[in-house]
Amino acid sequence: MKRNIANLFLGGALIGLMSCQQPQKQTAEIPSDTLHTTLDSASFGSKVAGKDVKLYTLKNASGSTAYLTNFGARLVGLMVPDKHGTLIDVVLGFDKASSYNNPAEPYFGPIVGPFGNRIAKGKFTLDGETFTTPTNNGPNTLHGGKKGLHFAHWEVKEANAKMVTFTYTLPDRHEGFPGNISMEVTYSWSDNNELTIHYQATSDKKTVINLTNHAYFNLNGEGSGTILDHQLKVFADKYTPVDSTLIPTGELAPVKGTPFDFTVSKTIGKDIEQDNQQLKFGKGYDHNFVLNETKVDGLNHAVTLTGDRTGIVMEIYTQEPGIQFYSGNFMGNKVTLKNGKTDSFRTGLCLEPQHFPDSPNQPNFPSTVLNPGDTYSTKSIYKFSTTK
């Protein structure tokens, strides 16, 4: 049921105030400044590039809370309970909308596209016509170019206490991509701590599309330190090796016998410093894993990630064929996060369900072509629980 948006903002602010007044359990394992968020509608919202940016608050029956904003249709924060029942913010981000308008560090929590990940040399061909996109990552295009969806002001189609739907139409040839691409992204937050992101898109011209969310996670809490002791299992027997510019070679290589074997849960740091050419290219993990179609309720079970100190478990289920794992290799104390800590080296990680990088130039990869008259539709679920 639709609600008056102004009332939703007021409700979000009151929820934020109430949560600050409630006593919090303290644990020996986690610094106290990771146990809360300072997010509220009044202090977060502002104008960015002359347009209003607002905070949307989704809260479930247990008190777990997701925070979203229309600037970049991004996930700003996510409060979920740890093994002691204490709410922990597991998503890195900022407490003011204006902080997200940063070309040097633009990828905290947004929807990226119209083509998430890399396109080699900023070029691809459709029906004999070559399209050129901005090269913003060495010689390649990354996440839709310099002015991708992460800097878009999305409209709010519908919002209530459990979901928000954002819409945006990318104009024809914006950043070189063909077609007026109309997109809709719905975030839903359930009472059993499942965050579902549903993506839809249509285009009036043949184009390419690969949407995903680029949240940085730390299941010990934002600002709590490295992610290297997190336990990770990836349901993938193969991955896509890359060249020195992180473009896939086209090979689907087995993970067995390599540092990329996460078929059995292990710490992220266990093999990350091995003398391996692929790890050198990525300065750690920055690779696409080919999911092996382990199905749960019709979706690919992509990963299981466990915070070593909180016992928080995040499982990702998706309709996508791959997931990009990025281990925070280029984080470097460049920005200040919500709790006052900086984005230190490998203090966050990204797990991005998506089609494979450079798919428009790789005929052996699953297609990312969207034809006029067709609807792109995909969803991913992030389910949070705790260890026993």
| Active site residue ranges | 214, 352
Determine the 3-state secondary structure of 129 from DSSP. Answer: strand
Q: Give the CA count within 13 Å in the CB-facing half-sphere of 3.
A: 16
What amino acid occupies position 139? Answer: P
Report the side by side order of strands in the sheet with 286-291.
253-254, 236-240, 286-291, 322-326, 350-354
What amino acid occupies position 149? Answer: L
Determine the 3-state secondary structure of 100 from DSSP. Answer: helix
Is the CB of residue 178 less than 8 Å from the CB of residue 206? yes
Q: What is the 8-class DSSP label of residue 373?
A: T
* Closest residue by Cα to residue 286 from 260, 261, 316: 260
* H-helix segments, 250-381: 277-282
Is the CB of residue 44 less than 8 Å from the CB of residue 51? no
Phi first, then psi: what are they for 19, rounded to 5°? -65, -30
Instruction: State the Cα–Cα distance between residues 259 and 235, nearest whole angstrom.
Output: 15
Instruction: State the Cα–Cα distance between residues 190 and 163, nearest whole angstrom.
Output: 9
Residue listed under structure tokens 């070189």: 176
What amino acid occupies position 287? Answer: H
225 by Cβ neighbours in 10 Å (0-12 / 13-18 / 19+) ranks as middle
Determine the 3-state secondary structure of 367 from DSSP. Answer: coil
Residues ≥6 apart with Cβ < 8 Å to 172: 178, 179, 180, 204, 205
Length of the chain: 388
Determine the 3-state secondary structure of 230 from DSSP. Answer: coil
* H-helix segments, 224-287: 277-282
